[in-house]
Structure 1
Amino acid sequence: MADRITANLPSRDFAATEAFYARLGFARAFRGDGWMILRRGDLVLEFFPHPEIDKRTSWFSACARVDDMAGLLAQWQQVGLPQDEKSIPRLTGIFKPGQAPRMFALVDEDGSLLRVIDNIDAGEIDSGGAA
Structure 2
Amino acid sequence: MKYLLAMYMNPEVWESLSEQDKDDVMTGHGEFIRRIRESGEMISTQALDAPAKSAVVRVKNGMPAITDGPFVESKEFLAGYYLVECASQERAYEVAAMIPDAKIDGLGIEVRPVVFFADSETESEFAGG
Query: TM over 0.5: same fold?
Result: no
State the structure with more CA Rg: 2
| TM-score where L is the length of structure 2 | 0.32
Q: Could you say which structure has the higher helix fraction?
A: 2
